[in-house]
Amino acid sequence: MNNLSHLDPRDVFGYFEKICSIPHGSGDMEKISSFCMDFAKKHGLWATRDEANNVIIKKPASKGYENAEPVILQGHLDMVCQKEPASSIRFEEDGIEVLVDGEFIRAKGTTLGADDGIAVAMMLAILADNSLSHPPIEAVFTTDEEIGMIGAKAMDMAVLSGKRMINLDSGNPAIVTVSCAGGSDLTAFVPIKREQRKGTAVSLSVKGLKGGHSGTEIHKGRVNANLLMGRILHHLSKTNAFSVISVFGGDKGNAIPVSCTAKLLTSDPDGLSLAFENYAGIVREEIRAREEGFAFDAEILEAGAFAALDDAAFGKLLHALILAPNGVMEMSAEIENLVETSLNLGILKTEDDKAVLSFALRSNKKTAMAYLEERLSAFFTLMECPVETGGHYPPWEYNKDSVLRQLYIEKYKEKTGKTAEVQAIHAGLECGVFADAIKGFDCISIGPLHFDIHTTRECLSIKSTKEMYEIVCRMLETLK
């Protein structure tokens, strides 16, 4: 392992190297949490750890800042563990081998974990440096962010007295994030009755669509494979006789599905296949400018008797697929080009007695999020389809009077000569959990430049990390 301490006199990189040596994949938080507690003890700082292994370390104000409001610094302890096929690493036992590659830090054959290890390193460096001028600091190290913000949701926010928070979980210093979406999962169940019917099975597939993240890419006009299959089946039902045996598309609620396959039963497999190919070809021409990889195929399978959806069940499923709301619902009136509210049908599957439709709902406004959930529930209730909701996480709403936002823009320009872009994202951040619990909350999300997170190509800019650390220190110095 390279020695990184020489890269920064405040030893941000030395702490990062130490973090990399400790196993800290999501779900494996004990060792890294203990490291943070030992750090606090070594430096004589108050610290607490909860049952979720979240750690809070408090540092008193430096001289002259005793009356200043506390500032929360926040990042998460867990990383996404991915490795190349040739790597022999055991993430539960081995550390990450870090390498200096020119202007970047990389890992040998694995993810680097700069998301969010570099935030943890910067926070430790600030806590360790008694030469800095700063208000009271509450450093919050949350756990299992990558698998659902589990630590932040479990944390008792009453331990915190600060209302101003600098989240260090972003990856471009030229952008200051000021709002994020909240969300929930809604699953609808279309009751199915099946009948034994005879005929020839035909498999129809749509595939090769771009897909993408259902938050950050929902506005890009990418075609949802599940909805496209609903459109095609609706069209075919007007000219061809068939029954549905099964439909399956997508495997994650928060991903725009890239493929969907329907297994149908018909007495005219050639005619159904031809009708499908003709209409899918028309659709291809329609969407080719935005879905250049779209493909489709029809395969005639075996003849026999199959348990197919009865006509009532097929009609109800078809209506759900062509009428349920999906995609962008509202754009923000406060932040230009921000999707404020959306939903995505990420999973479609048929089981023996029901069809399952799983939606991911998002909004940067709490009330809009609640209304969207009510609207979708009302739609399926009218169709006599039960629904279940869960996975709720709150939004972080835009604060037009944010002191931290203006201060970061000022310090970033002083350091770089450039103006930072203000951004809101249509995806979740832990900031939303804190915003929901702390009244009068003022927050920004920032971080040094790093690329290809969650992949073995992940890399962290050394120069940007130094600049970000200095900017955060200058912000703390200003917050009297």
> Is 78 part of the annotated catalytic residue set?
yes
**Contact status, residue 329 vs residue 218, Cβ threshold 8 Å:** no
Is 142 in contact with 76 (CB distance < 8 Å)?
yes
Tell me the Ramachandran region of residue 248: left when phi exceeds 0, alpha when psi lies from -120 to 50, beta otherwise.
Answer: beta
Contact call for residues 122 and 446 (beta carbons, < 8 A): no
Q: Which of 145, 373, 430, 458 is catalytic?
A: 145
CA-based nearest residue to 228, from 267, 299, 276: 276
Contacts by 61-65 with C-beta closer than 8 Å and gap 24+?
A: 61/134, 61/135, 61/136, 62/130, 62/132, 62/133, 62/134, 64/133, 64/480, 65/133, 65/134, 65/135, 65/136, 65/480
Distance CA(16)–CA(254), nearest Å, equals 31
Catalytic residue among 28, 78, 217, 442: 78
145 is catalytic: yes
CA distances (Å), 23 to each of 125, 258, 389, in order?
20, 34, 34
CB distance 12 to 121 below 8 Å: yes
What phi and psi, each to the nearest 5 degrees, are found at residue 273? -65, -40
Cα separation, 191 vs 350, whole angstroms = 10
Catalytic residues: 78, 145
